[in-house]
Structure 1
Amino acid sequence: MKLSMIGLMLVSLLGTSHAQAQCEQLYNGVQTSDGSSAQISIGRVSLTSTHLQPVGSSLGSVLVSAANAPGLSGETVLWQCDQADRHQIYELFATNGADRVGGHWEIGAGAGTSANDGLPGYFATYFGYVSLKLTHLNSGKTFTRYWQESPISHYDVVGDKIQIKGKHLSMVQAELARVSALPPASGSGSDQCAGIAQGAGSSVAAYTCTVPNAYIQFKGPGIVSDRAGTDANTSRTFLGVRNGVAFGLRGGAFISYNAACAVRSVTPVVTFARISSQQLNTGQTSESDFSIELECNDFALNITTQSLYGIQVSPNAYEQAQKLGLVTGDGAVTYLLSTGYGSDPSIATGVGIRLRQNATGADMNFVGQAGAPVGAVGNRGAGGWYPIREGQLISATGTGASVYTQSITAILSALPGMRARAGKVDAVAIVRVRVQ
């Protein structure tokens, strides 16, 4: 009898082990397909001589959300799981490791070429001498050809289920940089967009290659996915079941040649005199001047060309500015916030930095992150971009280029409608130029 009872107990336990929770996919997944990727809308990229634009020069940066892929929104339910699965769900992410211009060649680190530019994480694109680096912001990891995973910790709870929506996947930061070589014509798993879109002279070429540059897929019980650590050149099981979202430069980038400007120098640190929260709350401010030197070739300074500069906030500062209503309708940011604002107790709150252009005496905005449109020619300040020619011409270099200096005042003040609270102010911004 004892043997019989033990046998029955084992059968019961084995029966229970098969009642495992499963996740399910609730959308059609066409967003993994060519032409249906979340668009990396980085705008126009300008290449000129390496005198103005040496290898490694930044060519643009933008934040991208999976929720922007065609057919998706932030509220689209992508996957649904039992609450018991909440510690077993992950994002897997990698470049499009199979394709020649989609993420196979880490061109910035010398893959496929004899020239190593010292730019790890930058992969060849359909634009000649232009490389792309992608960062998974939730984990801080750079996309590579090898699948990496990051736990999904944000989701909606509906009854006994958890729902992973478009808004719950990590934002992706895309950065372009100049490299010294083109990807080889052979050696990758695929080459769907043969050749390179290089353009010529002052012409503009669009990024017509629809092949994605990267993917995010879902890993959870019951969902077919690839394994972390495997090479996306050959490990692509997720595509067959349409599990995930692609990211691509398709239609979101353009390239032109000759017309370009570069940042030659900028005041590296702007220091404010100490000021109390009481003073700030009575409308007083602390001010400090700084300058930027910008060099443009003659073509870029043609009266019909829109050569612009802007001061761009960091992704973190942009997200905080959105929460506080400090982002304008055209994507500019009115106040620069400290790194760690709202999360670091040592950082002053209710306090931000605004700008004044000394040549015109007008207030300036910062460039944001979400595509930052520049508006029509002559629309000064759209998206946080300003004409370089508004500065003071200080020299002609003799190389077909001229140098302009921009004098700007940074103003530390209380944020509109908020009370300043004591703490430190420590903010970072990047000077960028673009030619329309």
Structure 2
Amino acid sequence: MKRFFQSIISSNSVALRTRGLLLLSLLLITTTFNASATCVRKDFSDSGGDLYGTSLRLGNINLTSDDLQPVGTVLATSVVNLFPSVGLTNPDTVMFECDLADANNIYQAFATNGDSNVGGFTNFGDNYFQTFFRYTALKLTNVESGVEFTRIWQKVPITHYATVGNKIQIRGRDFSPIRAELIKTDKYDPTPATNSFGCPGPSAIGYTGNYTCPQPNGYVAFSGPGVELEELGHDANLDWTSWGLVRYYALGMNLGPVSTLTNNNTCGVVSTTPLVTFAKISPAELTAGGNRTGSFNVQIKCQDGVESGVQHGQTSIAIQTSMPAYVAAQKINLVNGSGGVSYLLSDGYGTDSSVATGVGIRLEDSKGVTRYFTGWAPCDSTCASSDNSGWYPVLSNADSVGESGGYTTYESTYTAILEAIPGQTPKAGKVDATAYVLVKVQ
């Protein structure tokens, strides 16, 4: 949260003369503003206050030994839409209206919460910023542009919007989704930023529990002709001019479903088969029901006492699509309501003419049971997982291959099946897909 202060100068001849000049300047500025303004704000809902923004919905964060979880390990990821938020629940709300001539001059601006040392002040490198959970750091990325949040206010074009007559309407849904990635670090920094509203610094050593700091981790704002964001190019640690005008849209780990921190026994990925190759197959054979298969192995190491499952505090495993594949899968309805993805698509699917379409990769476990891939959907209201979301008990497809020093190593076998996607027409091209093995305490 930001605070604003005003001071009033005591009346005297010099002060009155100064105030008169300021008033004259203000009138002149106002006249110029009205003459050139082409964008008009239509909605004044507060989505920028500490408790009115959008949750990053990262779910539970588990920290364990460096042996299983070395520094740099990704602890949680999500992709969230800026709206609905606590302060603005309808993503179809028209927020700004501009002239059609302004189509190339409308922007979404963004920065970390730079005046909070757990909200975006302390950069541990590569734009991972310290959070309230000690020994964690968060990176935020504007998905549509790939530009990462920093303390410096940046802008990228808004490329889709509604048109009504000769007007452009910018709705909540027209702002880019935001990708959040939380990693493990080996340091924390108590250096204060400009402000420390709500929490003076990271949590105590050994802390477990909810993310209790009320500070957001980042802000997004609109900028266009007549309503330019003055902070652009400035450091968010020092410049938050438009926050008091209710023009910021906040997002963070501070809103429900709130992230929790645990220190449970868990598992870590040791190795995976790096590459699965498929023999060539024609569109005609695919259409007739043909396929190609390839197997791969995943090896994990688990601490004694690990609890395998998909409920809170239990350890689960998932195979996650790449971000481009997830976006493509959404467009052809391959993502279910729980976030599970039925087919892994090639990177470049639907956008690169050299990539095969109408074909995808289905996943089966060692018993021949089809499994969902997991996508990038954030956790729901309870952050509970299920098979439909692509998360499975970590030991459900695993065989023990050795024990040593309080750890057991397990191996799982999967089959990747290249086949026609139901309801799609196969088209020849290359298949080049990427997936990641994730292990997480729910």
TM-score by length of 2: 0.87
* CA separation of 1:54 and 1:64: change in aligned 2, threshold 3 A: same
Superposition map of 1:15-30 within 5 A: 19-30=35-46
Which residue matches 1:35? 51
Structure 1: how far apart are the matches of 2:115 and 2:333? 42
Maintained 8 Å contact 2:287/2:426 = yes
Maintained 8 Å contact 2:117/2:201 = no
* CA separation of 1:244 and 1:17: change in aligned 2, threshold 3 A: closer
Deviation, structure 1 residue 302: 6.7
* CA separation of 1:410 and 1:44: change in aligned 2, threshold 3 A: same
- After superposition, the CA RMSD in angstroms is 2.3
Superposition map of 1:248-259 within 5 A: 248-250=252-254, 251=256, 252-259=258-265
Maintained 8 Å contact 2:113/2:216 = yes
TM-score by length of 1: 0.88
Unpaired stretches in structure 2, ≥5 consecutive residues: 1-30
For each residue in 1:255-286, what CA deviation from the matched residue of structure 2 results, as whole angstroms up to 9, or x when unmatched? 10132221111111111111111111111110
Deviation, structure 1 residue 208: 2.0
Structure 1 residue 66 and structure 2 residue 74: aligned?
no
Structure 1: how far apart are the matches of 2:386 and 2:115? 43
Which residue matches 1:406? 412
For each residue in 1:52-73, what CA deviation from the matched residue of structure 2 results, as whole angstroms up to 9, or x when unmatched? 1010001011001111312233
Superposition map of 1:171-210 within 5 A: 171-184=177-190, 186-192=191-197, 193-197=199-203, 200=206, 204-210=208-214
Structure 2: how far apart are the matches of 1:124 and 1:300? 29
Which shows bigger deviation, 249-258 or 190-199?
A: 190-199
What residue identity is the alignment partner of 1:306? Answer: Q
Which residue matches 1:238? 242
* CA separation of 1:240 and 1:258: change in aligned 2, threshold 3 A: same
What residue identity is the alignment partner of 1:352? Answer: G
Which shows bigger deviation, 168-177 or 386-395?
A: 386-395
Deviation, structure 1 residue 310: 0.2
Which residue matches 1:434? 440
- Say which SS state the counterpart of residue 119 (structure 2) adopts: helix
Superposition map of 1:256-335 within 5 A: 256-301=262-307, 306-335=314-343
Which residue matches 1:94? 111
Structure 1: how far apart are the matches of 2:33 and 2:299? 68
Unpaired stretches in structure 1, ≥5 consecutive residues: 1-14, 110-119
- Say which SS state the counterpart of residue 141 (structure 1) adopts: coil
Deviation, structure 1 residue 18: 7.5
* Aligned counterpart for 1:340 among listed residues 339, 348, 372: 348
- Say which SS state the counterpart of residue 237 (structure 1) adopts: coil
Which residue matches 1:396? 403
Maintained 8 Å contact 1:77/1:164 = yes
- Say which SS state the counterpart of residue 118 (structure 2) adopts: helix
Deviation, structure 1 residue 217: 0.9
* CA separation of 1:374 and 1:278: change in aligned 2, threshold 3 A: farther
* CA separation of 1:55 and 1:279: change in aligned 2, threshold 3 A: same
What residue identity is the alignment partner of 2:221? Answer: Q
Which residue matches 1:364? 371
* Aligned counterpart for 2:68 among listed residues 52, 70, 89: 52
Task: Count residues with an aligned counterpart.
Answer: 405
* CA separation of 1:293 and 1:370: change in aligned 2, threshold 3 A: same
What residue identity is the alignment partner of 1:30? Answer: D
* Aligned counterpart for 1:103 among listed residues 120, 123, 136: 120
Which shows bigger deviation, 203-212 or 36-45?
A: 203-212
Maintained 8 Å contact 2:33/2:226 = no
Structure 2: how far apart are the matches of 1:363 and 1:282? 20
| Percent identity over paired residues | 40
